[in-house]
Amino acid sequence: MSQRLALFDCDGTLVDGQAGVVNAMEAAFAEAGLPAPDRHLVRRAVGLSLPQAIRMLAPDADEARRIAADAAYRDAFRMAREAGQLVEPLYDGIADLVAALANEGWLLGVATGKSERGLSHCLASHSLTARFVTLQTADHHPSKPHPSMIETALAETGVDPAACVMIGDTQYDMAMAVNAGVRAIGVNWGYHSAEELIEAGAEVVARDPAHLKELLG
């Protein structure tokens, strides 16, 4: 059998990182002198690269304040991580799913709006680093839904697009998959609704990790 590649988004798909994101964004906006962002909108922005998320949350801010918020967010997130205050729990069933797919010969990767440092810390904290053979982060790519992350993952693994699936919880993940010409499977335990995922291009939306395993065959 030819190799298959399952690419996972991180926040909202592998882990529930919304608390850390919301807290860091609120601290960043305060530091930059911007009005506090709506928490619901912050969660909606998870998945975008940081500059795009800030632009969405502060559309009327000038570029200098956005740049200040970007730097302040990175500082706030780093300080929370170094202080041991960052909580990014795996969703129930994800560890078993990842192990099962790896044992069945799937190549696994991550395509995320997180930074490389943030993703590395997240995976290491759950002893998952060795499971993933390709890691695509916001440091090296345009924001989702640009297909660059998926295209690079395909190039690194040598997998044909027809044998790749992008798994995520946001419209940005599904649109990125469509733009890259790979399968798109949504999950309904993250930050966007199942209806939004289907509208953005998901062929199906998994109810839980066990259902996702069934969908992947």
Active site residues: 9, 11
Helices 94-103, 209-216: crossing angle, 10 deg rounding: 20
The tokens describing 11, both together, are 């926040």
3-state secondary structure 35-51: CCCCHHHHHHHECECHH
Angle 94-10-197 from CA coordinates, rounded to 5°:
90
Under a CB-based contact definition with an 8 Å cutoff, are residues 90 and 8 in contact?
A: no
Under a CB-based contact definition with an 8 Å cutoff, are residues 60 and 101 in contact?
A: no
